[in-house]
Amino acid sequence: MKFTVVGAGAMGLRYGLLLQDAGNEVDFVDGWEKNVETMHEQGGVYVSRDHENKHLVPLNVYYPEGYTGDPDCYVFFLKQMQLADMLERCAHFFKPNQYAFTCMNGMGHVEKLLKYFKPEKVVAGTALVATVLNGAGDVDFIGKRGAGSMKLANYTEKTDEFTHKLVEQLKKAQFNPELTTNFRGTLMVKVVFNSVVNTLCTMFEMTMGEYADYEGADEMSRQLIDEAYDVCERDGVQMITTRQEELDSVNYVSKVANPLHYPSMYQDMHNYRPTEVDYINGYLVKLGQKHGYNAKTHAFLTHEVHLAERGKQRELKRLQAAKEATAVKA
């Protein structure tokens, strides 16, 4: 199959390179200039696994404006707040027969994709796969090959020949995909997962393993899961897992699969970037409000993350000012 990955960041590179390894033709499109230029200069991307065995892997990477490829399917992996702008930049090469597939975290992306792709061409899912972008052109796959898992569903909840072919390629690439016919119930389970793990690990600057090992973690996770499931139930979402299974998944992924991983939200905070919290905990709050339900723990956490973002911006300004002062002295 032919894939074009839009967003050659941590997850885009992981999906694209492993699909390429599985025998597919893969192109990458990215808008971050330093990333694209670095990969052009290096002749590819540096890939490590669990911080080891760093090696160069060749790839084809383009800016959206210069891209003319014609894939069967796009794979979208951007931060939620980058997607609308990127879709606009890419619109000139989208064709009606092409599919759009994504496993981005949070909610908000599907509506944006539906502005460019017909409902029967949209496939979305979730990825319990941990990846870190060390910097431009340098990615680190966390976890052994084949260790993660993912779920996906057609937006229309009707599978077609293409979906099965996609699943076959994802299996070959060892992503352990599971196809479901419950679109929102599949996606929301991961939103809830991230609303616990990503947000708390970011706030308290800790790995998933450190969080899950805290003796009060189950109580904290359960409070957030309960509130989130109360919201989903009010919105008529049939969750694909029970509350207990969600808690078990938080514990398994944090204690066994990725104990040393700092979730992607932590990576953004640490690098002075805005986080996706409005699309995760914030999304649950808004959905609750629609039904007159106050998801107050999620609202509080959303504020906390925004306060922390503000603190990081102040820290960044201080660092920049100190750097400028040193340069003037020199």
Ligand X SMILES: CC(C)(CO)C(=O)C(=O)O
> Taking CB within 5 to 8 Å according to partner kind, which of ligand X, ligand NDP, none is near residue 277?
none
Q: State which residue, 246 or 276, has the beta carbon closest to ligand NDP.
A: 276
What is the helix (H) or strand (E) element at residue 154, kind and residue range? strand 149-154
Binding-residue pattern over the window 264 to 283 for ligand X, x denoting contact by CB under 6 A: x-------------------
Q: Which of 4, 5, 6, 9 binds ligand NDP (CB under 6 A)?
A: 9
Tell me: does residue 24 bind ligand X (CB under 6 A). Answer: no
Beta carbon of residue 258, minimum distance to ligand X (angstroms, whole number): 6
Which one of 150-158, 259-267, 281-289, 304-312 is the stretch in contact with ligand X (CB under 6 A)?
259-267
Dihedral sign for Cα 87, 25, 35, 203, please. Answer: positive
Q: Which of 15, 16, 73, 79 binds ligand NDP (CB under 6 A)?
A: 79
> Taking CB within 5 to 8 Å according to partner kind, which of ligand X, ligand NDP, none is near residue 187?
none
> Taking CB within 5 to 8 Å according to partner kind, which of ligand NDP, ligand X, none is near residue 221?
none
Q: State which residue, 129 or 239, has the beta carbon closest to ligand NDP.
A: 129
CB 39 within 8 A of CB 65: no
What is d(CA 242, CA 233) in angstroms, rounded to the nearest whole number?
12
Dihedral sign for Cα 265, 201, 287, 131, please. Answer: positive
Burial class (CB in 10 A: 0-12, 13-18, 19+), 13: buried
Q: Which of 38, 154, 180, 264 binds ligand NDP (CB under 6 A)?
A: 264
Binding-residue pattern over the window 107 to 136 for ligand NDP, x denoting contact by CB under 6 A: --------------------x-xxx-x-x-
Beta carbon of residue 80, minimum distance to ligand X (angstroms, whole number): 11
What is d(CA 107, CA 115) in angstroms, rounded to the nearest whole number?
15
Beta carbon of residue 40, minimum distance to ligand NDP (angstroms, whole number): 16
> Taking CB within 5 to 8 Å according to partner kind, which of ligand NDP, ligand X, none is near residue 282?
none
CB 281 within 8 A of CB 296: no
SS3 at position 45: strand
Q: Which residue has the tokens 């809830």?
A: 192
Q: Which of 6, 29, 59, 128 binds ligand X (CB under 6 A)?
A: 128
Q: State which residue, 111 or 215, has the beta carbon closest to ligand NDP.
A: 111
Q: How is 81-138 classified by DSSP, letter by letter?
A: HHHHHHHHHHGGG--TT-EEEE--SSSSHHHHHTTTS-GGGEEEEEEE--EEEEETTE
Q: Which of 104, 107, 208, 228 binds ligand NDP (CB under 6 A)?
A: 104
> Taking CB within 5 to 8 Å according to partner kind, which of ligand NDP, ligand X, none is near residue 302?
none
Tell me: does residue 80 bind ligand X (CB under 6 A). Answer: no
Polymer length in residues for the chain:
330
Kindly state the tokens that stand for 17: 């390179």
Tell me: does residue 313 bind ligand NDP (CB under 6 A). Answer: no
What is d(CA 165, CA 275) in angstroms, rounded to the nearest whole number?
34
Kindly state the tokens that stand for 25: 């033709």
What is d(CA 182, CA 290) in angstroms, rounded to the nearest whole number?
22
Q: Which of 20, 80, 194, 275 binds ligand X (CB under 6 A)?
A: 194
Under the rule (CB under 6 A), what is the footprint of ligand NDP? 7, 9-12, 32, 77-80, 82, 104-106, 127, 129-131, 133, 135, 264, 271, 273, 276
